[in-house]
Amino acid sequence: MADTRQLIIVGSGAAGLTAAIYAARANLAPLLFEGHQPGGQLTITTEVENYPGFAEAIMGPDLMARMRAQAARFGTEIVTAEVESVNFKVHPFEVCAEGKRYVAETVIVATGAKAKLLGLKSEGRLMGHGVSACATCDGYFFRNQRVAVVGGGDTAMEEATFLTKFASHVQVLHRRDELRASKIMQERARANPKISFQWNVEVEEVLGSEEGKVTGVKLLDVKSGKSSTLDVDGLFIGIGHQPNTKVFEGQLELTPNGYIRTYTGTRTSIPGVFAAGDVQDSVYRQAVTAAGSGCMAALDAERYLEELKHPSHTLPPAEGARAR
């Protein structure tokens, strides 16, 4: 039989590592699984200017390395492995990684969400060097520059509208001849004089300079089959996000768009299992909000463990509580 841990954390982004820091300092001796992308989405970003505490920008990988070192300093056991399956229908809970079974009294899920991308080699090469999937994170770097946004849904309209605060012009690129966004989001974008639309086009290639900066995009007209080039300084991908919840399907209640549903804080549909960060947040998706919810999850897990020691105390049910 595997030793029963007090807490297992799945995920090593800002939420998971913050949860580990708080849990380790509370003597919960957390075990953290880093997953296939240690450090999460911030490891593929460049300069981070909006995380509190850094007067000068810090590189995303450096920020996550500092968080990891801080978690390890307080005693977090970190395993570089991806969780393959879980069983939350038994208690203690079971977590399997690389064929090995682990059990714990509580689990924090912090597996994050990834931006849906176009899948182009040039997109990957220039990610963080003019290509971005987060206007809130990177819009500030494109002051008085021309940028393009790919997509036709609410995400794209929100990104385009936000970017007009900085960019001189925003060109929305959509592969259809009408938007999928909600009416109110469409109206806001259409009414903005700094936004224009190019219909029935797909991005074939992101063009870059020898210095590794975006200079434009090569477009394909899906109706005529003709190619053209659009000069822009930045390209934002606004086609949505995919939460990393596949392994939790059938184990936790999910929202219609695949995020873990949380109640009264970070509690999930299973008492003793908590969720933090972008895996349960389809709205804010920021490093600082992820870190904040990681703190909340650790405190919720600590309180849950204390409640287990007092059987007469009734645990607050997740079902029926107000969803966040």
Catalytic residue among 62, 138, 154, 177: 138
CA distance 150 to 230: 13
Q: Is 233 assigned a catalytic role?
A: no
**Total count of residues recorded for the chain:** 324
DSSP state string for 251-280: TS-B-TTSPBP-BTTTB-SSTTEEE-GGGS
Catalytic residue among 62, 96, 134, 154: 134
CA distance 257 to 189: 24
Token pair recorded at residue 213: 């900066």
Catalytic residue among 3, 62, 96, 137: 137
Q: Is 134 assigned a catalytic role?
A: yes
β-strands 169-173, 146-150: how paired? parallel
Token pair recorded at residue 307: 């409640």
Q: Is 96 assigned a catalytic role?
A: no
C-beta separation of 284 from 50 below 8 A: no
Sequence letter at residue 271: P
CA 46 to chain centre: 16
Residues forming the active site: 134, 137-138
